[in-house]
Amino acid sequence: MRRMLVLAAVLAAPIAHAAPLPLTLEDAWTRAEAHSPTLAAKVAEEEGAAAMVSEVEAAGRPQISVSAKAVALDHPPTTEFDLSALGGGGGKMKVPMGDQYWAEVEAKVQWVIDLFDQIGAGVDAAEAGRTAKALEVREARAALRQDLVRAYIGLKRAGTMLGVALAFEDAAQSHLRTATDLFEQGMIPKNDLLRAQVGLGDAENAKIQAQHGVKLAQANLDRLIGLPAGTEIDPVSEPLATPLPDDAKPFSDQIEALRHAIEASQDRIASLESQGYPTVFVGASYTNKTQQNSTNVYPQVVSGFVGMNWNPDLEGSRSAKVAQAQAERQRLEATLRDAEEQVALAALSYRLDFEAATAQEKAAATTVRSAEENLRVVSERFSQGLATSTDVVEAQSLLAKARADQAQAHFDKAEARARWARMVGQLLPDPVQ
């Protein structure tokens, strides 16, 4: 019996509900940056490009190599001499020719003389490629931050819209109580009471839709910042809604990346063309052998050498690569022209969106004040029997719509500013050098 009572008490106890996680916009950005696989891939590409620069630069430094070997023969090497030609009974004589065990060590240093800037052109191309990858990382970070700001604003928007819906529901419930009292006193007809009930149903439906919107916005933000689905967040930061400086000019990391990609393409063309010139190299080597025999008179040898490599490209493969690189450069230049026009147009569009949303927010604030006063007057007239329940419900709906429009304009302005900031290079603070 005691166990049943304990179980009943446990089931009757209220379930603890975790409080929403307070999260600033910067904290959300830190989480999103650490969670994004796309950004991680771009960072890995940048690191690979940096490693390529080091690899190309290494070709211009002296190359040192050391080799060693040890030899163990089954028996000492010998040779035989036929003594029959010497008389005295003939016979054969074996003569040792070298050691049974010996080792050899060789050290060599070689340096390519970059007479025709072959290595330098390759380094320039690799450096431009690294910078282009760094700008691609910035572009990916800017895109991620804009998505995050949109999701963060989306959650704040959904929460505000839920607050509007709850206020609408409270007003509808209050009106229904008033209508019920007046109906019971015989002061209003039944259709006024029914209209108040319908108005409450509309308000409850609006609340359900707003709650659904909050859940969707919550799930979207959870996904971006890597939190478990369903984690409730309290977005405590207020996204910036102040206008940007008047001298803000269109800027895009994508455009800068294209410019560096064009530079890298030009350097690649120069590098390919320089491969048609001879490559001159100098070097020296030191060899030390422990083997002693009749042919190894100098077991320690120091030598120097000068060499040259030249590929005349008889098959035309290098010319084909140059033509491909030139075509790629032309494609990048055309893409750059289109991107510059699109960025300039987008920056203008987002600035106009911001200005329009600012004006709409001001107009919506005036509308809200008018709707509040209208509802107050209609409610008083209804209590005096001078207005119908339909008039009150319509006034409540007008006020809810005005508040929703004001909230939409406020958050539209914040989103437009974020898009505008990205188009003028001010969404991220640290430029790539």
pLDDT at 82: 67
pTM of the model: 0.67
At 231, the amino acid letter reads T
pLDDT at 29: 87
Burial (CB count <10 Å: 0-12, 13-18, 19+), residue 339: middle
Query: How far is the C-alpha of 376 from the C-alpha of 382, rounded, in Å?
Result: 10
pLDDT at 91: 65
Query: How far is the C-alpha of 145 from the C-alpha of 31, rounded, in Å?
Result: 11
pLDDT at 290: 65
pLDDT at 349: 87
pLDDT at 12: 38
- Give the phi and the psi of residue 70 in degrees, each rounded to 5: -125, 140
Q: Which of 255, 238, 261 is nearest to 424 (CA)?
A: 255
Angle between helices 190-225 and 389-423 (to 10 degrees): 20
pLDDT at 363: 94
pLDDT at 429: 47
Query: How far is the C-alpha of 390 from the C-alpha of 344, rounded, in Å?
Result: 51
Per-residue pLDDT 10s for the chain (433 aa) are 343 333 333 333 343 446 788 888 888 888 998 998 998 998 898 888 888 877 776 766 777 888 887 877 777 777 776 666 666 555 676 766 767 777 778 777 776 666 556 666 677 777 877 887 888 888 888 888 889 888 999 999 999 999 999 999 999 999 999 999 988 988 889 998 999 999 999 999 999 999 999 999 999 999 999 988 888 888 888 776 677 776 677 777 777 778 878 887 887 777 776 666 676 666 677 777 666 555 555 567 777 767 666 667 656 677 787 788 888 888 888 888 888 888 888 888 888 988 898 999 999 999 999 999 999 999 999 888 888 989 999 999 999 999 999 999 999 988 888 888 888 777 754 433 3
Query: How far is the C-alpha of 335 from the C-alpha of 432, rounded, in Å?
Result: 21
Q: What is the DSSP string of 291-359?
A: --SSS-S-SEEEEEEEEEE----TT-HHHHHHHHHHHHHHHHHHHHHHHHHHHHHHHHHHHHHHHHHHH
pLDDT at 300: 72
pLDDT at 232: 87
Query: How far is the C-alpha of 123 from the C-alpha of 57, rounded, in Å?
Result: 6
* 399: CB partners within 8 A, 6+ apart: 168, 171, 368, 371, 372, 374, 375
What 8-state DSSP symbol labels residue 198?
H
CB of 57 within 8 A of CB of 121?
A: no
